[in-house]
Each structure stands twice: as structure tokens, then as C-alpha cells.
């Protein structure tokens, strides 16, 4: 395993022939078997592009799901997708049209078998697969049934666990849960969010990960970040709880954020996926900038635990910019190996 492995947080832009571009909830372009074929083609295209860029860990780029939360929910019984309602999410940071939980939750069947098995069949690199975390799901649906966020989170965690065990059987090496909500409801994250994650990873022997970010580079998130002040200390409450958990890897924002880098030291014993690529800017990082960020993180993270990653997913970006950023990520990690690899 190379020093400073490289990976992305998960999502990558969908090609224009698959879905609308530049959107978080894009409409698909095709239907039926044509759409399925287009999803497969886009998945293969991105696996090849990630390999060519030089990434050590590759993923499906979330090409087969419309959105990182709703892609999972579409296979859950007990959810009314036909009647979505408008709800403020992430503590009312922005409005989204969300489906409603109306009955006990149950999986209809496999959720991501198609793209996970396809990806596994076409790459020998480490394969990472992302799922939404229970707490973030709870924050992205309207509850008309459970009446209790923790109880509903645990119900979702059971379903996530079923799918995660199946993904592990498909040959996935790393299963990552995306929990941007941990940075919004810090006390809840420490009180029960991590416990719900633990339920979701029960029985897994593959590598497990959690991604905690300040959101995609959309305007509502950029505006929100401007209200967070000079120092972003949101990670401070949940990192110590994660350090005591069974989760193997933690993905965090670093480059261009106001996160004090010393907070990474709270993750002692974990692999830390350090965000060295900004997803809120189309300016492509130079390998030197990437290596500098890795150098900063090395003051707080042992080098054998440092993975170079993107701050968040790249879904709403242009393909050309995303591709250039993947290349910068791999080249920057290579430069860091030269700079920090010895002694
Ligand atoms: Zn993210």
C-alpha cells in the first residue's frame, strides 16, 4: 500500500447524456433499459478516469443514483415517493423536496447491487462504496410515522447494515457512510449519531468509513460557511466519539476551510481522509498545494494513517474540472511522497 493513498469522497459529475448537469437532484435523460445502460456506461467511464488519473481507491462515482440520500431511499418500503413535501434540511440551511416516511421501513431488495458488482468486475484497485449515514437520512426525509428521530435513525441503520453486508459480499473493500448532518447537529451526532453508525456497520469486516463535510459547493452551503466565523470547530464534538468507535476511516474537509488542523489529532488511531481538494471552487489545485496540505495534516496525523481525499463529492461540478482535480490529487500525493516519504 502506497504512502498517502488517494481517494475521492464519492460522487462525480454525471455526463450530460445521463442526466442534467450542474445539479444536485438532476433529472435522468432516459428511461427503462436505456437509462440502465447509460448508468452502466457512466460508471465504467469514471472507473477508467479515476484509474487513469492515478487514484489508489476508486468508486462508482454515484452515477446510478440521482442523489446520495434519495438513491438509497428509492428501495425502501414505507416511504411515499409520489408525494414529496418541501422541507428545510440541514437545520433549514436550504429547502428540498423530500419523500415522506409513512409506514414501517423495510428494504424492497438490493439497493446498489448493479453498480457495485459492475464496478467490482472492472477494477482491481481498492473499491469504495458510499451510503448515506442514518442521521443524514433522517434529516432528508419527512417523518409521518416514527415521531422520534433516534428510533427512525436506528430503523434506517438496520436497513443500511443489510445493504452494507451485501456490498461486502459483492467484493467492496471500503464502505463509507456520508454524514454531513454531523456538522450541523453536533450534540446529537455525539449523543446518538455515532451509535446509529455503529448499528449500520455491525458484522462488517471490510474497511468502514464516515465522511463528514460542510456540504457540496452549492451557493446555500457557501453562504452558510460565511456565517461560521473564523474557526470551524464543529468536528471537535464528534471526533472524540468517533475515535472511540469501530469506524476505521474518517473523511474531513481541510483545504480552503476554516477547520483548525489540530482537530485532526482528535482522531488518534483512525485513518484520516484529509480533504486536499476544494469542491466549492473551479480553480484546480496545483500538485504543490496538495502536497502542502498533506504537509500541514502530517503535523497531526501519522503518515501511515493519512489518505489524501477531496473535501466532498464533485457531483455538481463540470466533468473537465472534476477530472483535472482528480489528476491534481494524484500528482500532489506523489509529490508529497517525495517530500515526506523518507525519514
Ligand atoms: Zn460531503
Lowest mean pLDDT among 7-16, 21-30, 171-180, 329-338: 21-30
Over 60: is that where the pLDDT of 190 sits? Answer: yes
Asked if residue 27 belongs to a domain, the reply is no
How far apart (Å, rounded) are the C-alpha atoms in residues 315 and 66? 10
- Do residues 172 and 117 lie in contact, with contact meaning Cβ atoms separated by under 8 Å? no
How far apart (Å, rounded) are the C-alpha atoms in residues 238 and 96? 26
**How many whole angstroms from 313 Cα to the centroid of ligand 1?**
5
Asked if residue 291 belongs to a domain, the reply is yes
**How many whole angstroms from 215 Cα to the centroid of ligand 1?**
5
Asked if residue 181 belongs to a domain, the reply is yes
- Give the H or E element holding residue 327: helix 319-340
**How many whole angstroms from 3 Cα to the centroid of ligand 1?**
24
**How many whole angstroms from 221 Cα to the centroid of ligand 1?**
11
In this prediction, residue 18 has a pLDDT band, given cuts at 50, 70 and 90, of very high
**How many whole angstroms from 213 Cα to the centroid of ligand 1?**
4
- Give the H or E element holding residue 306: strand 306-310
Asked if residue 248 belongs to a domain, the reply is yes
Give the global pTM. Answer: 0.97
Over 90: is that where the pLDDT of 265 sits? Answer: yes
| The three three-digit cell numbers of residue 268, written as one number | 488518534
**How many whole angstroms from 179 Cα to the centroid of ligand 1?**
8
In this predicted model, what pLDDT tens digit does every residue of 280-297 receive, in sequence order?
999 999 999 999 999 999
**How many whole angstroms from 280 Cα to the centroid of ligand 1?**
11
**How many whole angstroms from 253 Cα to the centroid of ligand 1?**
8
**How many whole angstroms from 325 Cα to the centroid of ligand 1?**
16
Residue with the three cell numbers 454531523: 182
Asked if residue 3 belongs to a domain, the reply is no
Q: What does the CA dihedral 286, 313, 17, 122 come to, rounded to 10 degrees?
A: 90
**How many whole angstroms from 342 Cα to the centroid of ligand 1?**
32
In this predicted model, what pLDDT tens digit does every residue of 114-128 receive, in sequence order?
999 999 999 999 999
Q: Is 78 left (phi over 0), alpha (psi -120 to 50) or beta?
A: left
For residues 91 and 1, the model is more confident at 91
Into how many domains does the chain fold? Answer: 1
pLDDT of residue 23: 86
In this prediction, residue 343 has a pLDDT band, given cuts at 50, 70 and 90, of low
In this predicted model, what pLDDT tens digit does every residue of 214-256 receive, in sequence order?
988 788 888 899 899 899 999 999 999 999 999 999 999 999 9
**How many whole angstroms from 343 Cα to the centroid of ligand 1?**
34
**How many whole angstroms from 89 Cα to the centroid of ligand 1?**
15
For residues 70 and 306, the model is more confident at 306
Mean pLDDT rounded to a whole number for the chain: 96
Q: How many CB atoms lie within 10 A of CB 34?
A: 11
Asked if residue 22 belongs to a domain, the reply is no
Asked if residue 2 belongs to a domain, the reply is no
Instruction: Give, as one character, the DSSP assignment of residue 250.
Output: E
Q: State the DSSP string of 100-143.
A: EEEEEEEE-S-SSHHHHHHHHHT--SEEEEEEE-HHHHHTTSEE
What range defines the domain where residue 45 resides? Answer: 32-340
**How many whole angstroms from 75 Cα to the centroid of ligand 1?**
22
Q: What is the CATH number of the domain that holds 182?
A: 3.20.20.210
**How many whole angstroms from 178 Cα to the centroid of ligand 1?**
7
> CB within 5 A of ion ligand 1: which residues?
213, 312
Asked if residue 16 belongs to a domain, the reply is no
**How many whole angstroms from 194 Cα to the centroid of ligand 1?**
17
Over 80: is that where the pLDDT of 148 sits? Answer: yes
Residue with the three cell numbers 433499459: 33
Amino acid at each position: 500500500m502506497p504512502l498517502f493513498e488517494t481517494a475521492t469522497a464519492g460522487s462525480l459529475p454525471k455526463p450530460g447524456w445521463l442526466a442534467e448537469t450542474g445539479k444536485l437532484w438532476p433529472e435522468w435523460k432516459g428511461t427503462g433499459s436505456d437509462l440502465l445502460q447509460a448508468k452502466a456506461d457512466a460508471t465504467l467511464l469514471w472507473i477508467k478516469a479515476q484509474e487513469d488519473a492515478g487514484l489508489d481507491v476508486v468508486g462508482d462515482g454515484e452515477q446510478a443514483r440521482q442523489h446520495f440520500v434519495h438513491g438509497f431511499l428509492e428501495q425502501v418500503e414505507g416511504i411515499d415517493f409520489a408525494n414529496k413535501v418541501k422541507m428545510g434540511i440541514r437545520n433549514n440551511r436550504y429547502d428540498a423536496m423530500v419523500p415522506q416516511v409513512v409506514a414501517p421501513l423495510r428494504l424492497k431488495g438490493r439497493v446498489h447491487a448493479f453498480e457495485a458488482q459492475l464496478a467490482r468486475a472492472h477494477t482491481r484497485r481498492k473499491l469504495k462504496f458510499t451510503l448515506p449515514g442514518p442521521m443524514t437520512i433522517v434529516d432528508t426525509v419527512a417523518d409521518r410515522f416514527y415521531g422520534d428521530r433516534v428510533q427512525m435513525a436506528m430503523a434506517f441503520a438496520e436497513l443500511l447494515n443489510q445493504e452494507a453486508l451485501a456490498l461486502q459480499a459483492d467484493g467492496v473493500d471500503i464502505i463509507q457512510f456520508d454524514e454531513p448532518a454531523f456538522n450541523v447537529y453536533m450534540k446529537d451526532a455525539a449523543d446518538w449519531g455515532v451509535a446509529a453508525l455503529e448499528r449500520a456497520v455491525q458484522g462488517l469486516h471490510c474497511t468502514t468509513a464516515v465522511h463528514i463535510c460542510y456540504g457540496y459547493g452549492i451557493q446555500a452551503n457557501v453562504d452558510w460557511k460565511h456565517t461560521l466565523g473564523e474557526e470551524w470547530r464543529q468536528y471537535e464534538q464528534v471526533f472524540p466519539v468517533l475515535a472511540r468507535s469501530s469506524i476505521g476511516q474518517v473523511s474531513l474537509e481541510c483545504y480552503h476551510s476554516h477547520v483548525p488542523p489540530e482537530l485532526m489529532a482528535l482522531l488518534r488511531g483512525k485513518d484520516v481522509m484529509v480533504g486536499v481538494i476544494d469542491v466549492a471552487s473551479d480553480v484546480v489545485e496545483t500538485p504543490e498545494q496538495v502536497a502542502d496540505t498533506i504537509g500541514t495534516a502530517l503535523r497531526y496525523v501519522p503518515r501511515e494513517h493519512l489518505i489524501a481525499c477531496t473535501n466532498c463529492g464533485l457531483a455538481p461540478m463540470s466533468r473537465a474540472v472534476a477530472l483535472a482535480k482528480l489528476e491534481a490529487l494524484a500528482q500532489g500525493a506523489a509529490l508529497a511522497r517525495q517530500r515526506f516519504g523518507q525519514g
